[in-house]
């Protein structure tokens, strides 16, 4: 029987790269996105179905999942939809905070919850979520985005225990800097009191030399979907691996001192 993966946020970046890769491996791919009418590549692939899904719309989630499960046997759900809201907390509106959490956290939770009864009755299934190295370490000017990714970390670990009762897996992919459109599309909220910090942060990001491609992360997603392990976290990208290892080695406070130094000098992250 052919395997099927359901992907959110498949219009660009990691989501689109994963859709292409899984399709090339013979999987059936359900590629969802907010504006499928703008898609010109995935809908040309024979074993890819492109559907509209805004993960902030609960009713649309339920309708889409019901529609898919009427016609497909889904094996893996890849929760990938998300974006990064950057800027000082003082500059971020309550509406922007809510929108960030609605997409990055509640969207993941709601899509997952919609599929759990199906996987439970089936007796197996796998959820994979795009996390971030920002869910393993906090960075300047990203408190809201980082909060959404840290929430994913705790939620995934806790949920893994209850899902294991029914042979359902949950895994988190944690890349570092990815050469994707997410940073170009992400809101960057300015506040004059934080100009120096914001400028140093932007300098550190733009000087980043180690950059992982969406295609490389898609390979990690494919590995997570097929390795048969119960591994929870997949830290990927040379920068993320080095950063996380460094934090574990030196401890939280020494790591934070290093970030302070980085932000004062504008040197690159990692």
Look up 145 and say whether it is catalytic.
yes
End-to-end CA distance of the chain, in Å?
43
Report H helices in 46-194: 58-71, 94-101, 107-122, 143-164, 182-185
249's tokens: 């080695």
Task: Give the Cα separation of 4 and 72 in Å (integer).
Answer: 8
Assess contact for 172 and 131: CB atoms under 8 A. Answer: yes
| Among 83, 118, 145, 222, the one annotated catalytic | 145
CA separation (Å) from 215 to 174, 178, 187, 224?
14, 10, 24, 14
Assess contact for 129 and 148: CB atoms under 8 A. Answer: no
3-state secondary structure 177-192: CECCCHHHHCCEECCH
Assess contact for 87 and 187: CB atoms under 8 A. Answer: yes
Q: In sequence order, what are the residues at sequence separation of 6 or more whose Cβ sits closer than 8 angstroms to the Cβ of residue 239?
A: 133, 176, 177, 208, 210, 211, 212, 269, 270
* Residues involved in catalysis: 145
């Amino acid at each position: 029987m052919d395997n099927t993966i359901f992907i959110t946020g498949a219009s660009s970046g990691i989501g689109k790269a994963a859709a292409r890769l899984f399709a090339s491996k013979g999987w059936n791919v359900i590629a969802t996105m907010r504006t499928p009418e703008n898609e010109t590549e995935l809908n040309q692939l024979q074993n890819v179905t492109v559907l509209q899904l805004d993960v902030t719309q609960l009713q649309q989630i339920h309708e889409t999942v019901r529609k898919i499960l009427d016609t497909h046997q889904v094996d893996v759900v890849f929760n990938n939809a998300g974006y990064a809201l950057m800027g000082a907390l003082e500059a971020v509106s309550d509406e922007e905070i809510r929108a960030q959490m609605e997409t990055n956290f509640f969207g993941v939770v709601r899509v997952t919850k919609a599929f759990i009864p199906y996987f439970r009755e089936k007796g197996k299934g796998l959820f994979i979520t795009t996390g971030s190295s920002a869910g393993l370490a906090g960075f300047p000017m990203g408190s809201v985005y980082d909060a959404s990714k840290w929430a994913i970390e705790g939620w995934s670990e806790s949920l893994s225990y209850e899902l294991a009762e029914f042979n359902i897996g949950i895994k988190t992919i944690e890349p570092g800097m990815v050469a994707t459109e997410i940073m170009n599309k992400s809101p960057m909220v300015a506040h004059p009191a934080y100009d120096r910090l914001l400028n140093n942060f932007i300098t550190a990001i733009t000087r980043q030399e180690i950059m992982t491609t969406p295609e490389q992360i898609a390979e990690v997603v494919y590995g997570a979907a097929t390795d048969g392990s119960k591994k929870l976290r997949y830290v990927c990208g040379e920068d993320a691996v080095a950063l996380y290892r460094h934090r574990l080695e030196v401890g939280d406070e020494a790591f934070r001192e290093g970030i302070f130094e980085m932000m004062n000098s504008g040197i690159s992250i990692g």
